[in-house]
Structure 1
Amino acid sequence: MQELQTEKQQPIELPKLPENPLVSILIANYNYAKYIGETLDSVLSQTYPHFEAIICDDGSKDNSCEIVEIYANKDSRIKLVRQPNGGVASALNTAYRNSSGEIICVLDADDIWMPSKLQKVVEAFQSDAKGGFVIDNLINIDGDSKIIKSTPIFSELSSGWKAPFAMENGGFAYNIPPASGLSIRRKVADFIFPMNEAFTRNADSLISYLAPLITKIVAIPEVLTQFRLHGSNLTSSRSYVLKDFERDVSNWERTHQEQKQLLTRVYGKEVAEKLTGLEKSVKYLHFRYVAMRLKRLPRKETKKAHQQLTAHQHFGYSAPERWFLPWAEYLPDVLFAKMFGVVYGANPVKHFLKNLVGDLTNPRYVLR
């Protein structure tokens, strides 16, 4: 049990890292036999050798475990732990309990790291004594490991002490990558783990949106991770539908509650009460409004939600907010649904518009 840090919100104190700290890599696997071998190859190709990779198999029905065992038998740094299916948060909790590193890195079982990933992460932590959260840029690859787009996913990454910004914006900092681009110091991890196991997927959002509230972010702008998009990927999609927006809205709401609990544990109730509500988050308002329109709720309700969204000080940062949402409330439900398919779906019209006006699905505004 961590002790209360301070009544004033500031980055938590971190112990000095040893010269060659042990890095624990947490991998939650469920039926990724097709990719887990390539993922582990990228781990074993790291130029920084002092690591352990804990793979928690979450009740896979394929031959994932047999593949991991082959790697574990060849290299003692690879460790397999099995458990019945419980979801991503449960699997990561199990992997964390079996880890002992000073640095914790998360790696999705289908993603690939560049050989210098861990070396760069260790150097980034050593460069800032108060930096407890390191993030790196990513590039998208497909199911065959071919690069989808040569440019990094993020044009810029969040950096520095972002807690004041997050506290004023519903708890959320922007420009934070998904799981395989996240690394945290163990003291930070001890405040986050064990994660709420209700997060059966998208559990990395707990790290993404809890860590910035208690520690500084150190950004590595170069691409160190290949983030895979494929048909069975549970957390990434090129095409969005109503259930995705509803899921993300629900995920924001649960994450917001987790943030309040974290702030209370670390700083006390007084600081936790300063966290603004979700109506201050433009990302939440964006997805909530779209979900309301797709569900065809009464226009009196959607009009109010639209006014809240368009009046937000950060509205207009994503392409849908610039090109579609300002006038979306004036569209009848049927036409809104058709335009939604163009803006958020995967179809030839969207690809044309992407070339014309830029990426219509800026990842800064998609909660995984």
Structure 2
Amino acid sequence: MSPRISVVMPVYNVEKFVKSAIESVLKQTYDNFELLIVDDRGDDRSIQICNQFIGDPRVHIIRHQCNKGLAAARNTGIRHSLGEFVAFIDSDDLWHPEKLQRHVTHLDNDPQIGLSFSRSSFIDFDGKFIDFYQMPKLTGIDAAHLLCRNPVGNGSAPVIRRTTLNDIRFLSVTSADRHSCYFDEKFRQSEDIECWLRIAATTSWKIEGLPEPLTYYRLNHGGLSANLEKQYASWELMIEKARGFAPLLLQRHEQAARAYQLRYLSRQAIRTGDGSAAVKLFNQAMATSPSILKNETGRTITTMIAAYAQWIMPSWGYIAIEGVGQKCISVMQKMRISRDGVSSEFMQDNKL
């Protein structure tokens, strides 16, 4: 019997995390799945660690001849997959044990949903929960909202119907070996949002989220201002591509989307401790589209206060204020999760 879900896990230089990522998949309460590990030719011990799991008949390792990047690794996994649904997990992230079961139920209950995603809980470098969550809009998501705010949030959150992926499939024209693509292999960053945007803008499939934080998203301690610049440049390339398949969408929402992206990068700079870059990015966001202050007043003001406080204050003072602020936000997030129907038992079982 073919597996109902194909889980695609690209692997590249993640020896510190990959064992835990694989175990979080194999511990799923829903077990009719295959795990396709795509070896993207790193130079550490990641694949030796993966080899420890090949005795499990659900686990398969697919090897690239050379490093091709995350988008190409996901495409390779999709092409080898057998499932009705395709789930993605990055090899430094983790899943709640009920993730696949809840997504299967979500997709079965509404055949019009093409992409089902979950809220995410942040974990630190060592895998410890930090009581902070991605809190996106879950329903009523259109292409404009996805362009501006990317509610899916990260590459370990979605489970997608194969038929949905087939609807956005295109043929690679940049490689000597022509093959089907779903993620654009020209992108080394922003490949996620580019793919989700094509689904939202060019198909009739619905994109909806689950209120439970079923994905554990690991924060990267290695972020630098230079990397933020690369992220922004990659996002701009995504915008240029989108002009070809969603020109009216870009005419109406490009400036607001750019402002939201700059605000997001400002928060990333805050996370890495670069107050100067955070202020610069926030000011760029406001100059690009002041409407984000009206549309998302709380989040925009919070970003402004954090950016300027980190820039002006001594580090010990900012750390103290940040700790208090994060505790307040965490409490409000948990209250909202509870209002959305997530039980306290689930949160306790989740160690959140």
Normalising by structure 2, report the TM-score. Answer: 0.73
Cα pair 2:7 2:87 within 8 Å, conserved:
yes
Cα pair 2:256 2:291 within 8 Å, conserved:
no
Q: 1:305, 1:340 → 2: CA distance?
A: 17
Counterpart code for 2:226: K
Give, in angstroms, the shift of residue 288 of structure 1: 8.2
Change (3 A) 1:50 1:341: farther
Q: Please say if 1:283 is aligned against 2:253.
A: no
Please, which moves more after superposition, 113-122 or 274-283? 274-283
Give, in angstroms, the shift of residue 202 of structure 1: 4.5
Which of 65, 69, 79 is the aligned partner of 2:60? 79
Change (3 A) 1:129 1:54: same
Q: Residue in 2 aligned with 1:352? A: 320
Q: Residue in 1 aligned with 2:192? A: 204
Give, in angstroms, the shift of residue 277 of structure 1: 5.0
Give, in angstroms, the shift of residue 222 of structure 1: 0.9
Give, in angstroms, the shift of residue 103 of structure 1: 0.8
Give, in angstroms, the shift of residue 207 of structure 1: 3.6
Give, in angstroms, the shift of residue 311 of structure 1: 3.9
More contact order relative to length (CA 8 Å, sep ≥ 6): 1
Within-5 A mapping of 1:185-200 = 185-190=161-166, 191=168, 193-200=181-188
Q: 1:229, 1:71 → 2: CA distance?
A: 26
Q: 1:96, 1:324 → 2: CA distance?
A: 37
Cα deviation code 1:125-179 (max 9, x no counterpart): 0111111111112222233322222x5x13444323423545xxxx334433211
SS at match of 2:122: strand
Give, in angstroms, the shift of residue 251 of structure 1: 2.4
Segments of structure 2 that go 5 or more residues without pairing to the other structure are 170-180, 270-274, 331-352
Q: Residue in 1 aligned with 2:216? A: 226
Q: Please say if 1:129 is aligned against 2:125.
A: no
Q: What's the Cα RMSD here?
A: 3.7
Give, in angstroms, the shift of residue 219 of structure 1: 1.4
Q: Residue in 2 aligned with 1:179? A: 155
Give, in angstroms, the shift of residue 117 of structure 1: 1.0
Cα pair 1:86 1:200 within 8 Å, conserved:
no
Cα pair 1:30 1:58 within 8 Å, conserved:
yes
Q: Residue in 1 aligned with 2:345? A: none
Cα deviation code 1:198-239 (max 9, x no counterpart): 32244333344433333212211112122223546xxxx5xx
Change (3 A) 1:36 1:342: farther
Query: Of Structure 1 and Structure 2, which has the larger fraction of its residues in helix?
Result: 2
Counterpart code for 2:229: E
Segments of structure 1 that go 5 or more residues without pairing to the other structure are 1-19, 265-270, 329-335, 363-368
SS at match of 2:233: helix
Which of 233, 248, 262 is the aligned partner of 1:273? 248
Within-5 A mapping of 1:1-368 = 22-72=4-54, 74-83=55-64, 84-149=66-131, 151=132, 153-163=133-143, 165-166=145-146, 171-190=147-166, 191=168, 193-213=181-201, 214=203, 215-231=205-221, 237=223, 241-261=224-244, 264=245, 272-275=247-250, 276-281=252-257, 282-286=259-263, 306-312=286-292, 313-314=294-295, 316-318=297-299, 321-323=300-302, 325=304, 339-340=310-311, 347-358=315-326
Counterpart code for 2:214: L
Q: Residue in 2 aligned with 1:14? A: none
Percent of aligned pairs with the same amino acid: 24
Give, in angstroms, the shift of residue 37 of structure 1: 1.5
Cα pair 2:150 2:193 within 8 Å, conserved:
no
Change (3 A) 1:228 1:285: closer
Cα pair 2:262 2:284 within 8 Å, conserved:
no
Change (3 A) 1:134 1:348: farther
Change (3 A) 1:348 1:122: farther
Cα pair 2:6 2:85 within 8 Å, conserved:
yes
Counterpart code for 1:132: G
Change (3 A) 1:342 1:230: farther
Give, in angstroms, the shift of residue 243 of structure 1: 2.1
Q: 1:199, 1:309 → 2: CA distance?
A: 26
SS at match of 1:226: strand
SS at match of 2:67: coil
Give, in angstroms, the shift of residue 71 of structure 1: 0.8
Please, which moves more after superposition, 278-287 or 110-119? 278-287
Cα deviation code 1:77-135 (max 9, x no counterpart): 21111111121112112212211221111101121112111111100101111111111
Normalising by structure 1, report the TM-score. Answer: 0.70
